[in-house]
């Protein structure tokens, strides 16, 4: 491959030599990541090479192929989700909540069907996800859609192509629709909420909510990273599949290449139904995916057709829903922990109880707003359940048992680790410690400080930083510049050459221009580009630290969100002491780059009229507005001929319709999120 040249410098012949091997490598990496769960390269390596392929295909469109990774995982939908009519309606199911209700339903169903003997049923687990339709032509996946309102769904074809359980090509050249359930595994759900909580974002309430939001992201790369999965369970036109029972249909779908939940069981009596329910009620907590009940279906497909459906639900199936599992306990304490980005999270400490097969004595309260909304107090009797059958969560407070002398819980104002004043920035729900010297954050901060786009200290990776930290050789960023050869030689696998190389890299970083230091400090919202703009405007660290929030916010493309974050950061006494320490060890505090030209200094959002409509998933509309205004956009409430862009979230209504009528550019949330990332 021709790897050294930039894409815009390649000839067509060089591009041909490059693109084939690159596409093959990305396909292999994607298979390892999505299908085998055994990635062999870090995410940044895949992302870097993926972006190179995107650039190559954009510059040489004649080289793009239908099987390119950009068409499978990385393809991006840049308009509102198209609507898909369901030729055969996707109905919901009726519910029952006890075995008695289920057996009564069966009796009525058999009477309606004119049967003299009990039906044969196929029992299946009720996966806690969202319904999905996939359509194949000659064995090739051509369309995927959500249920929507049962008659019209949303086109999620590009996103579904990232789900490894949905084959791109069937094992037989059939033209058929198949239906199933898209879900988020418990482990993926827990990881996603942990990441969102650390970033100060609202968490998802349950795996189904997380799966729905992920499938409707409109950006297949986001969906792919969310680790969605699917089980298929239904074929509307079953005769074309050559089967006569539901159990046979599941077997045939498995033969075609689908992942089918293999816990189904054909039963003939009330006793067998009871045994199945008891078995999976007991196993529920051990499953890798969430279930919220059991689905009972008449096994004979011809009988299903005869029974038919009401306007809303089929008459041939019913869902037995598990009763909610919760336990009462008493809150004894609320403790606060500091995450790697300074996010300070409250956790309730309670009397231990048995819940869903495990002993639970702690539950995250996520953020101060959540704690206030629930009005949880010390001494309260609360009811616990497990969100997604995995994360302990307080569902409600028993106010009748609240102690007479109860007082509202007071949110702390100082960091529990370092004692610094805590801040609650306007754009997030998290409470944060912004002290760069806080031990709870500092080790992770050192890795960012040394990273390539920050101070660029070559050879100072997380493993070395961990050793330096454990040996108490560094306590803050300034300590890096006082390391000696003798100290480095005490590290594992460090010889004289490696020690000398690292000391040289550290020394070289003293002379970086100011914008690298600003980025390396890890100031909230200050990426590499914002650091460059601030450094270019204020010229020195002293000038920036002396500037008011208003002066910082007035810098082109900075705005009030970054202005508040920077001003709050430098108002901290520990930050000022750190800056003094860095000065004392010779770290450059001035901007020494050429003046930024118009192309660099100006944001593409400057002066653009933007309208926000619909519900955003990854951020609130208020957060989106703040960011847009911080980057020079004019956010308005109505769509007109002067509007430049409409950013449309879920359930966008008349404003989206108006934009389409006027031919105004419409972006979905994924496109907007990518633009935000590019502006960092």
- Give me the active site residues, please: 126
Measured distance CA(633)–CA(228) in Å, rounded: 35
Cβ-based neighbours of 271, under 8 Å, separated by 6 or more? none
Which has the closest alpha carbon to 146: 126, 162, 132, 163? 132
Cβ-based neighbours of 644, under 8 Å, separated by 6 or more? 608, 609, 610, 664, 665
Measured distance CA(441)–CA(81) in Å, rounded: 40
Per DSSP, the three-state class of 70 is: helix
DSSP codes, 418-482: T-PBEE--TT-S-EEE--TT-HHHHHHHHHHHHSTTTT--TT--HHHHHHHHHTT--SSGGGGGG
Which helix (DSSP H) or strand (DSSP E) does residue 394 occupy? strand 391-397
Which has the closest alpha carbon to 12: 56, 70, 48? 56
Answer yes or no: are the C-beta atoms of 432 and 423 closer than 8 Å. Answer: yes
Measured distance CA(83)–CA(154) in Å, rounded: 5
Token pair listed for 658: 């108006």
CA distances from 555 to 107, 185, 544, 549, 629 (A): 73, 45, 11, 10, 12
Token pair listed for 55: 């650039």
What are the helix and strand counts (H, E) for the chain? Answer: 26, 22
Query: Bridge-partner residues for 354, per DSSP?
Result: 359
Measured distance CA(679)–CA(216) in Å, rounded: 24
Answer yes or no: are the C-beta atoms of 362 and 354 closer than 8 Å. Answer: no
Measured distance CA(618)–CA(351) in Å, rounded: 35
Token pair listed for 330: 């008493």
- Give me Rg for the CA atoms of the chain: 29
- Secondary structure in 3-state letters for 469-490: HHCCCCCCHHHHHHCCHHHHCC
Residue found under tokens 């709050």: 568
Measured distance CA(393)–CA(557) in Å, rounded: 41
Which has the closest alpha carbon to 350: 325, 329, 320? 329
CA distances from 139 to 175, 176, 243 (A): 6, 8, 18
CA distances from 26 to 6, 23, 37, 247, 292 (A): 18, 5, 15, 38, 37
Token pair listed for 236: 């509307």
Query: Bridge-partner residues for 155, per DSSP?
Result: 145
Measured distance CA(21)–CA(23) in Å, rounded: 5
């Amino acid at each position: 491959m021709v790897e050294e040249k930039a894409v815009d410098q390649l000839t067509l012949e060089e591009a041909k030599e490059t693109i084939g091997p690159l596409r093959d490598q990305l396909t292999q990496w994607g298979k390892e990541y999505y299908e085998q769960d055994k990635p062999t390269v870090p995410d940044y390596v895949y992302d870097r090479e993926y972006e190179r392929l995107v650039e190559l295909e954009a510059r040489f469109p004649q080289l793009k192929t239908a099987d390119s990774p950009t068409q499978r995982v990385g393809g991006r939908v840049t308009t509102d989700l198209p609507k898909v009519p369901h030729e055969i309606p996707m109905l919901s199911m009726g519910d029952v909540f006890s075995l008695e209700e289920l057996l009564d339903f069966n009796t009525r169903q058999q009477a309606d069907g004119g049967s003299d003997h009990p039906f044969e049923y196929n029992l299946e687990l009720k996966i806690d996800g969202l319904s999905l339709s996939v359509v194949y032509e000659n064995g090739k996946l051509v369309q995927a859609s959500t249920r929507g309102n049962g008659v019209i769904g949303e086109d999620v074809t590009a996103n579904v192509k990232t789900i490894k359980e949905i084959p791109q090509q069937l094992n037989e050249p059939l033209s058929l629709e198949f239906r199933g359930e898209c879900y988020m595994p418990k482990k993926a759900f827990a990881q996603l909420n942990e990441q969102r909580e650390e970033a100060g974002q609202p968490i998802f309430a349950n795996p189904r909510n997380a799966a729905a939001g992920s499938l409707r992201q409109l950006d297949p790369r986001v969906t792919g990273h969310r680790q969605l999965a699917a089980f298929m369970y239904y074929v509307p036109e079953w005769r074309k599949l050559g089967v006569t029972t539901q159990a046979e249909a599941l077997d045939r779908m498995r033969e075609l290449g689908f992942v089918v939940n293999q816990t189904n069981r054909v039963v003939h009596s009330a006793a067998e139904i009871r045994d199945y329910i008891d078995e999976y009620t007991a196993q529920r907590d051990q499953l890798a995916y969430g279930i919220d009940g059991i689905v009972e279906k008449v096994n004979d497909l011809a009988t299903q057709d005869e029974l038919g459906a009401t306007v809303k639900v089929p008459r041939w199936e019913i869902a037995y829903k598990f009763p909610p599992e919760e336990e009462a306990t008493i809150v004894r304490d609320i403790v606060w922990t500091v995450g790697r980005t300074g996010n300070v999270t409250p956790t309730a400490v309670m009397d231990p109880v048995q819940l869903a097969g495990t002993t639970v004595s702690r539950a995250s309260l996520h953020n101060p707003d959540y704690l206030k909304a629930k009005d949880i107090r010390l001494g309260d009797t609360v009811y616990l359940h497990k969100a997604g059958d995995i994360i302990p969560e307080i569902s409600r407070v028993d106010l009748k048992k609240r102690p007479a002398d109860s007082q509202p819980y007071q949110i702390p104002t100082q960091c529990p680790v370092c004692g610094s004043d805590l801040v609650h920035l306007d754009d997030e729900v998290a409470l944060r410690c912004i002290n760069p010297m806080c031990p709870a954050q500092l080790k992770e901060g050192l890795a960012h400080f040394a990273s390539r786009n920050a101070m660029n200290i070559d050879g100072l990776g997380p493993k070395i930083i961990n050793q330096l930290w454990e040996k108490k050789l560094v306590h803050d960023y300034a300590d890096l510049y006082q390391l000696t050869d003798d100290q480095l030689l005490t590290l594992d696998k460090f010889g004289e050459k490696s020690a000398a190389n690292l000391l040289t890299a550290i020394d070289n970083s003293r002379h970086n221009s100011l914008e690298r230091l600003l980025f390396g400090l890890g100031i909230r919202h200050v990426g590499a580009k914002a650091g460059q703009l601030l450094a270019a405007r204020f010229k020195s660290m002293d000038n920036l630290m002396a500037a008011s929030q208003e002066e910082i916010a007035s810098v082109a493309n900075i705005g009030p969100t970054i202005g508040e974050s920077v001003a709050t950061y430098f108002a901290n006494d520990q930050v000022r002491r750190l800056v003094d320490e860095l000065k004392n060890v010779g770290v450059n505090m001035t901007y020494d780059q050429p003046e930024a030209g118009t192309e660099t200094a100006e944001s593409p959002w400057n002066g653009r009229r933007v309208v926000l409509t619909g519900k955003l998933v990854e951020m609130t509309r208020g957060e989106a507005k703040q960011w847009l205004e911080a980057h020079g956009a004019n956010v308005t409430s109505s769509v007109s001929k002067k509007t430049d862009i409409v950013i449309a979230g879920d359930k966008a209504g008349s404003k989206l319709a108006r934009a389409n009528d006027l031919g105004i550019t419409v972006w979905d949330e994924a496109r907007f999120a990518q633009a935000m990332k590019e502006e960092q």
